[in-house]
Amino acid sequence: MIKLEVGNVMLKPSHRRQLMTWLKRSLRMGERLGDFALTITMRRDGRQVEVRADVHDSAGDFACRSRQPDWHSALREMVRQLSGRLHDQYIQRLSMA
């Protein structure tokens, strides 16, 4: 499950679709881990956009955060961090089994 809270950042529907495309890999890994919930919060503060992702899954909870001058860069960085962390959890779970 994904929950997107854009706050005071304006996103067009095409931007939301683009974000969902970037999240495909992370969603697949989260589904494999089980009990997956992702909450993405966006906030503009002055000239910076802060994006925070809170993840809950069966392997544990964690958060990723990115702060960049534009929403595009902030989301890309956060998605990369998210994908890497989920991959690490997936590998750890496989090695334990």
Tell me the pLDDT tens digit for each residue of 11-70.
999 999 999 999 999 999 999 998 999 999 999 999 999 999 999 999 899 999 999 999
The three-class DSSP label of residue 61 is strand
Q: Where are the domains of the chain?
A: 2-91
In the predicted structure, residue 78 carries a pLDDT above the cut 90:
yes
Contacts (Cβ under 8 Å, ≥6 apart) of 35:
56, 57, 58
If you ran DSSP here, which 8-state letter would residue 75 be given?
A: H
Token representation of residue 91: 């590998």
> Which of the four pLDDT bands, split at 50, 70 and 90, describes residue 94?
confident
Distance CA 60, CA 54 (A): 11
CATH ID of 2-91, from 3.30.160.100, 3.40.50.720, 3.40.50.970, 1.10.1200.10: 3.30.160.100
Distance CA 46, CA 66 (A): 15
Q: Is the pTM of this model over 0.95?
A: no
